[in-house]
Structure 1
Amino acid sequence: MIAAGAVTLDYDDRFGYLPDLLDRLDIRVDSQVLVFSKTSFQADKISPRHPRAIYFSNDVAVGFVRDADVIELAAFDARH
C-alpha cells in the first residue's frame, strides 16, 4: 500500500513522517542503530549531532537523517 501511494502518513513536527512510517511498517523504535558513513549519499547531512539512524525488522530497513529531504527504504525478499 505504501509503495502504491495509497497511504497518507501523519507528519510529526520533530521527526517528520518517520514515526508514522515505522508504525505502519511494524518496525520497533528500539531497533535503531546509528551509522556514520562517509560513503552515504546523505554524507553532507550526517554528523555527530545528526547521525544516520537505521531502523529495521526482518524484512524492511528505514534510514533517517534529521533535516534531510528523504527517508531511505530497503525491503528484503528471501526469494531473491
Structure 2
Amino acid sequence: ANVNCLSLRKSVDTTSISLFIRYLRDQSLDILALQETHTTSPRLKDLFHKQLQAKDSALTYDSIRERQIIKAKASKLGGYW
C-alpha cells in the first residue's frame, strides 16, 4: 500500500497517530510506503517500525537524487515507477 500522510509529524494529537498506525497494522500489508511524512527524524521511523511490528523498515528523504536511486532499483527488480 502507498499512503500519503500529509505531514504526519506535524500532528500533535498522539491519539490520532496511534489510531492511524493501528488501522495500518490491521490491514495486514506486505509492503507499506508512507509519503509526505515530512520528517527526517529516525524517531518517527522507529515508532512506525515498532507499532506496525515490521520485519524491516527504511527511512528515505525526498530529493531528486534519492528518487533516481529508487527508480533505478525498481527497474532492476522489474518494478514500475
TM bin, normalised by shorter chain, reads under 0.3
Which has a greater percent of strand? 1
Q: Give me the TM-score of the superposition, normalised by structure 2.
A: 0.24
Q: Give me the TM-score of the superposition, normalised by structure 1.
A: 0.24
Relative contact order, CA 8 A, sep 6+: which one is greater?
Answer: 2
Which has a greater percent of helix? 2
> Which structure has the bigger radius of gyration?
2
